[in-house]
Amino acid sequence: EPGEEADYVVVESTYGDRRHDPRDPTEALGEVIERTIARGGTVVIPAFAVGRAQSLLYHIWRLKQAGRIGLTPIYLDSPMAINATDLLHAHLEDHRMPAEVCDAICAVATYVRDVEASKEISASPMPKVILSASGMATGGRVLHHIKAFGPDRRNTILFSGFQAAGTRGRSMVEGAQEVKIHGQWVPINAEVANLPMLSAHADAEEILRWLSGLKRPPRKTFIVHGEPHASDALRVRIQDRFGWDCVIPQMMERHEL
């Protein structure tokens, strides 16, 4: 919701220095899955368990509806993501999907709760899509899948949002040839792709569009939640476009309102 007026504004800046890829996310996801399956590979998607995993199921359902990706098995390998997906059924009033659509979306994947079943899909050489937490490959079952599928060039590791500095996800997106998992260095020969347009964070233009809804300039705008270059880029954009007083607060810095 756009704000009408505020004395002070606190705004995030995760993507304060860039624009999201304008491509349709369903199309972009389909292209990655199809080219991976065509070469006999598996797509491993590190997915945030709450929200992102469910939106990915929606896009995969759309691909299935369009007659794409064939009979490719889809696995949701995260107990937390499965529980969050179940909540969609329990709270139909909190989203815009009709019950029958919600059912179809949630039925598009095989749910994997127990550890032994997770190990079985990691060991299987058959092409497939695995959605598993965590989203930045900092822990969870997805690490076992990256260990299993990362070394093979036929496979793809597909990220679906912002990867913070210092995470395995960020290292792989930036081209790391190996990552350390469970005390071992794992070669990453698989294709590594990212779909940043699926991120829940607004890009720079979306943030500026929201700020433009304010009817009067705030006394001060605090720019937070971004890496230094992104925060500073957003500060410059806001000052150039609106002429507002902006500050990037530092740790433990005190401001009097």
Closest of 157, 199, 162 to residue 175, by C-alpha? 157
Look at the block and give the residue holding tokens 């007083």. 245
| Shared-domain flag, residues 155 and 30 | yes
| Shared-domain flag, residues 31 and 109 | yes
| Shared-domain flag, residues 177 and 124 | yes
Residue 200's pLDDT band, with cuts at 50, 70 and 90, is confident
| Shared-domain flag, residues 229 and 138 | no
Using one digit for the tens of pLDDT, what is the confidence trace for 113-143?
999 999 999 999 999 999 999 999 999 999 9
Structure tokens at 129: 């899509």
Using one digit for the tens of pLDDT, what is the confidence trace for 2-39?
888 999 999 999 999 999 888 999 999 999 999 999 99
Contact present, 41 and 150 (Cβ < 8 Å) = no
| Shared-domain flag, residues 12 and 67 | no
Kindly provide the residue ranges of all beta strands, DSSP E only, lying in the chain, ordered along the sequence. 8-12, 43-46, 74-77, 110-111, 129-132, 156-159, 178-181, 184-187, 191-194, 220-224, 246-247
Question: Given 198, 219, 239, which residue is the final one in a domain?
Answer: 198
Looking at the structure of the chain, the number of domains it has is 2
User: What does 139-181 look like in DSSP terms, one character per residue?
Assistant: SSTHHHHHHHHTT-TT-EEEE-S---TTSHHHHHHTT-SEEEE
| Shared-domain flag, residues 146 and 167 | yes
- Tell whether 3 is covered by a domain: no
| Shared-domain flag, residues 116 and 179 | yes
Please tell me the pTM assigned to this model: 0.89
The boundaries of the domain holding residue 207 are 8-19+201-247
